Chains A and B, each alone.
Chain A
Amino acid sequence: MPLLRITSPHAHGPMSTSRVMQHVLLATVPGIIVLTHFFGFGTLVNILWGGIVALACEALALALRGRPLAFYLKDYSALVTSTLLCIALPPYAPWWLIAIGVASSVLLAKHLYGGLGYNPFNPAMVGYVVLLISFPVQMTAWAPPRGLGEVPGLFEALLACFSPASFDAVTMATPLDVLKQNNSLLLEDLWQENPQFGRWGGIGWEWASLAFLAGGLWLLYQRIFTWHAPVAMLVAITAMAGMFYDNGSSASGGSPLFHLLSGATIFGAFFIVTDPVSSAVSTRGKLIYGAMIGALVYIIRVRGNYPDAVAFAVLIANFTAPFIDYYTQPRTYGHARKGDS
């Protein structure tokens, strides 16, 4: 047998793209468990159905593009996209809503741009925004958390998904909705009148956020991503909320803790902002990119038309990523610092 001729390096580290994706999926598990505990099986059904649609769309796109199916399907990237999208969707969403959202993510946002690695926008957030703009009623119908209403069982969850007409949905405004609509009550009174606010960021949401934080920290520990973008985002949102808190008047935007633990802040910081493909890549770039998303989330939540804003903020920041990268190249070894000569 002739000797192989390969150029260096000959050794390779243990990491692979499939493993990166598997890690991300695994890190969402605590959050999914908490969501299921508070809101019932809706999220789980979303994720399972979304996963099936995602793999089908991925296979279709790969077949149309003439790529090897098995090789690309096992990179888990489609499953990550659909899982992240389905976590963000309201539980007990009808099957077609999920299908449209996932198909938009995988086909429109990913494969039309050239597949994995070539998408300028975060696919899950593209799918989310498509749904939010097209079906605002279904997208804002969140179930009440455990304690404030009946939590449906698994069968009812399947019924809600695949036979929406026969499911009698109970919905409740989310804390972000309530805060958005408020223009007369002091925050203290608002908290008194609306039980869903919970302790800090809303019953259910605050615990789910902490669970996603745990998953995110584990990913950080596994060196799947660096701390820069998530921390920058959280610092920015805290700073913005702190600056405009005004001690809880009726015009207040809400406390920093409320903004951190409500809605998709933590989930977004560790699972959406860290999407490497569509974000800035240099260290300084990640800081700018994360901070920008944090600030935008606050601005859109408080001043915009939508109660939550992670998806819009991320998509807007995606536009700026190449520009940020251009201006934040690290100083190469042996090159003078800017300004030195």
Chain B
Amino acid sequence: MRKIFGFHGGIHPPENKHQSLEHPIRDAGIPAELIIPVSQHVGAPAAPCVEIGQAVLGGDVIAEAIGVVSVPLHAPTSGSIAAIERRPVAHPSGSEALCIVIDTDGEDRWRSLEGVEDYRTADPAQLLERIRECGIAGMGGAGFPSAIKLAPRNPIETLIINGTECEPYITADDILLQERAQRIVEGAQIIAHIVQPQEILIGVEDNKPEGIEAITAAAAGTDLQVVTFPTKYPSGGEKQLIEILTGKQVPSGGLPADLGIVCQNVGTAVAVRDAILDGRPLISRVTTVTGDAVSKPGNFDVLLGTPMAHLLHLAGYDERKNRRLIMGGPMMGFSVPTPLAPVVKTTNCLLAPTESELPTPPPAQACIRCGMCAEACPASLLPQQLFWFAQGKESEKLEAHNLFDCIECGACSWVCPSHIPLVQYYRASKADIQQQRKDQAKSDYSRERFEARQARLEREEAEKDAKRAARKKAAEERAKAAATGEGEEDPIQAAIARAQAKKAAQTNEGSGESELEKLERAVVTTQKRLDTAQQKLSAAEAEGSDLVDALRTGVEKTQSKLDKAKAALAEHQANHSEAPAAAEEPPVDAAQAAIQKAMQAREADAQKSPQEKARDQLGKLEQRLAKAQQRLADGRAAGEEDKIIDALSASVDKLREKISETRAQLAETESA
């Protein structure tokens, strides 16, 4: 028997799991319409790659992964694309999101699927690619792309398959353990082939005797070890489960991989198994539908994109009894704005409680610092102190009391006798502090830029002063020389000679060249500034920042500056190339000469065919793309935040788009 470790705190809410365990998994069938949000995972949303009206088969890719932290989406069945538009989705923010809507044809025709013949001899990298191509993201709740989680930077000692399911009401994992234990074991073995751990543990809470029996039977004769432990919420949290099974704590701000541990949900293991052995992408999942507002609670095998209303109807939903609809469990789930929202990869449960079952919280009473929250906190925080600081918006104290180690499990709110919505306070404080950090970074950046500019201006001023002083000195010396009558030449003659010498020098080398360099430099720096400005603009657009307008104006201004600088350069080049010829020509009117030159320059430009122009542009774009890709790679290497990476990859994609447009234009002109 393996040693089990405890974790601090935790609570024992009523489990309410039996209601949904009375029937085996039911098939939810094919609804008339599937609504598939492009963002069902952590990371960059997938990009739709189908057109409205296009016919699709089951398993066809309908949206492609963008960037590394992203997964593609597949058609769950055959039909045609009805719309690509914003629809209400189940998301904590409660807003609408871009969805691909499929009108199903009920025939469920599929493209041919092909599994990996023998995964044991396959290259793990190839398996990871397959997992990614099949759109697999963590199915326990967070939805992190599995292929990334399974490619950790450290060697893995322990692979943990999480079948804990500590949230009340939810039984999706329990029923999987009972009915699909064999597939869980196969999935776990495939994952083990990828990460090569020393041991494979399947963790299950002891309130699932049937599931434990089934998985133990399935795991017999393999190197999988089923570990059971006492039921306590939130033992299914990744950090808590790791502590229970290994006695180790994931370092604050770190990942389980830092300890040589990787965790995968049992549902994810099944999805991996289906992807590798059958080639089947992730297009369905098991979802618990429960709560007193449904008369036939149970678990359903449901296609992703199925409207919740369809599923609720199958479970005997009575909307008159229902005041709030929760996706997930009663502890960490979030309320869904409308039953029209679709089931997604992370929908482990739909909870439709009655008012008496989960009453609307009463108004909060005063905190009496009873400390029940601190006893319940699985992260060993002092929730009552955090609450005090959150009320006073004392960010520094909040951070000093490790607010960011809060996993928002809700245990503190659950025990609070004064019904204080503690977790809500912490969420708001976290958001505030993150905003403050962002603002701080922004203002630091502006300050640095301002200081750099100030320094440059001062330097330039100092240089000018030095030159001025030098000229003055030279003039004084000349005056002195003239006054003392040194040199017996006529001063006027001398002046003429000097002027001629200067002219000659200008024509031959020196200032003409440096003028050209200056102009070229101006073009290059302005180009750079334009690039950065565009970069920022696309980042801001991706984030939906308020600064978008300001940034756009900035980009436009820089663009016009760049145009001017280019024009100046072109003019100068034209002038300069004409210069020797002009010098030999009889001294005509200077203005005339300038006009002539300008006209020549324009002609030279006009002689460039549109083809050449397009080609030039293409070249430039390709250079920019290379640069952008470099930046993206650097960003990834430096472990930048997801948001920045997303923004960078978005700009790479934009450039790619532009290049393909330009290529198309080029092809057009060439064929014309």
Minimal beta-carbon separation of A106 from chain B (angstroms): 14
| B381 close to A (CB within 8 Å) | yes
Chain B residues near A30 (CB, 8 Å)? Answer: none
How distant is the Cα of A277 from the Cα of B249 in the complex, in angstroms?
32
How does the 8 Å CB contact mask read for B415-430 relative to A, with 1 for contact and 0 for none? 1111101011001000
B residues in contact with A334, CB < 8 Å: 239, 249-254, 379, 405
Given A6-B324, A334-B249: A71 and B363 interface contact (C-beta under 8 Å): yes
A7–B405 CA distance with the chains assembled, in angstroms: 19
- Tell me, rounded to whole Å, the shortest Cβ–Cβ distance linking A58 to chain B: 13
A13 contacts B415, C-beta separation under 8 Å? yes
A325 vs B253: C-alpha distance when bound (angstroms) = 25
Rounded to whole angstroms, the CA-CA distance of A224 and B368 in the bound complex is 12
Chain B contacts of A223 at CB under 8 A?
372
CB of B13 within 8 A of CB of A13, answer: yes
Q: Which of A4, A11, A17, A75 has the most CB of B within 10 A?
A: A11
Is the pair B371, A281 in contact by a Cβ cutoff of 8 Å? Answer: yes
Partner of A7, one of B243, B363, B423: B423
How many residues on A have C-beta within 8 angstroms of the other chain's C-beta atoms? 42
CB distance from A103 to the nearest CB of B (A): 20
Residues of A within 8 Å of B325, CB to CB, are 3
- Quick one: which of B332, B367, B380, B419 contacts A8, CB cutoff 8 A? B332
If A276-B371, A333-B8 touch, does A11 touch B414 (CB 8 Å cutoff)?
yes
Tell yes or no: A19 within 8 A of B by CB. Answer: yes
Give B358-369 as 1s and 0s: 1 = Cβ < 8 Å from A's Cβ atoms. Answer: 111101011111
Q: Which residues of A contact B405 (CB under 8 A)?
A: 332-335
Select one of A13, A279, A281 contacting B414, CB under 8 A: A13
B335 lies within 8 A of A4 (CB): yes
Docked CA distance A226–B94 (Å): 41
Residue in contact with A20 in the complex, picked from B351, B361, B368, B380, CB distance below 8 Å: B368
B370 at the interface (CB under 8 A from A): yes
- Chain B 220-253: CB-based contact to A (< 8 A → 1; otherwise 0): 0000000000000000000100010000011111
Question: How far, in angstroms, from A16 to B416 measured CA to CA in the complex?
Answer: 7
* Least distance between B391 CB and chain A CB atoms (Å): 11
Q: Mark A1-31, 1 if CB is under 8 A from B, else 0.
A: 1011111111111011101100000000000
* Contact status B369-A277, CB under 8 Å: yes
* Chain A residues, Cβ within 8 Å of B478: none
Is A10 in contact with B326, judged by CB distance below 8 angstroms? yes
CB proximity of B553 to chain A, nearest CB, Å: 37
Q: Is A116 an interface residue when CB atoms closer than 8 A count as contact?
A: yes
Does B417 contact A19, Cβ atoms closer than 8 Å? yes
**Cβ contact within 8 Å between A3 and B338:** yes
Q: Is residue B353 within 8 Å, beta carbon to beta carbon, of the partner chain?
A: yes
- Cα distance A17–B374 when bound, in Å? 16
Q: How far, in angstroms, from A224 to B385 measured CA to CA in the complex?
A: 19
Q: Which residue of B lies closest to A223 (CB)?
A: B372
B252 touches A332 (CB 8 A): yes
B527 at the interface (CB under 8 A from A): no
CA A276 – CA B369 in complex, angstroms?
5
B410 touches A17 (CB 8 A): no
- Does B197 sit at the interface, judged by CB under 8 A? no
A3-B335, A7-B335 as given contacts; A282 in contact with B365, CB under 8 Å: no
By a CB distance below 8 angstroms, the chain B residues around A13 are 11, 13, 414-416
- Asked if residues A7 and B252 are in contact (CB atoms below 8 Å), the reply is no
Q: Does A242 contact B (CB under 8 A)?
A: no
CA of A211 to CA of B571, assembled, Å: 103
Q: Assess whether B335 is in contact with A16, with CB atoms less than 8 Å apart.
A: no
Per the 8 Å Cβ criterion, residues 574-600 of B in contact with A are: none
In this assembly, does A331 line the interface, its C-beta being within 8 Å of a C-beta of chain B?
yes
**Is the C-beta of B617 less than 8 angstroms from some C-beta in chain A?**
no
* Most B C-beta atoms less than 10 A away, residue of A3, A226, A279: A3
- Residue from B253, B382, B401 whose CB has the most chain A CB atoms within 10 Å: B382
Q: When the two chains form their complex, are residues B330 and A9 in contact, meaning their CB atoms are under 8 A apart? A: yes
Chain B residues, CB < 8 A from A152: none
Chain B residues whose C-beta falls within 8 Å of the C-beta of A330 in the assembled complex? 8, 374, 380-382
- How many Å from the CB of B339 to the closest CB on chain A? 8
In the complex, chain A residues 212-243 whose Cβ is within 8 Å of any chain B Cβ: 223-226
B260, CB-defined interface residue at 8 Å: no
Would you give 22 A-B contacts (Cβ < 8 Å), ordered by A? Answer: A3-B322, A3-B323, A4-B324, A4-B360, A5-B324, A6-B335, A7-B92, A7-B423, A8-B328, A8-B331, A10-B333, A12-B413, A13-B13, A15-B415, A17-B368, A75-B365, A77-B368, A117-B366, A277-B368, A330-B380, A332-B381, A332-B402
The list of the 9 closest CB pairs from A to B, nearest first, reads A9-B410, A117-B366, A11-B330, A334-B252, A4-B324, A333-B379, A332-B402, A116-B366, A276-B370
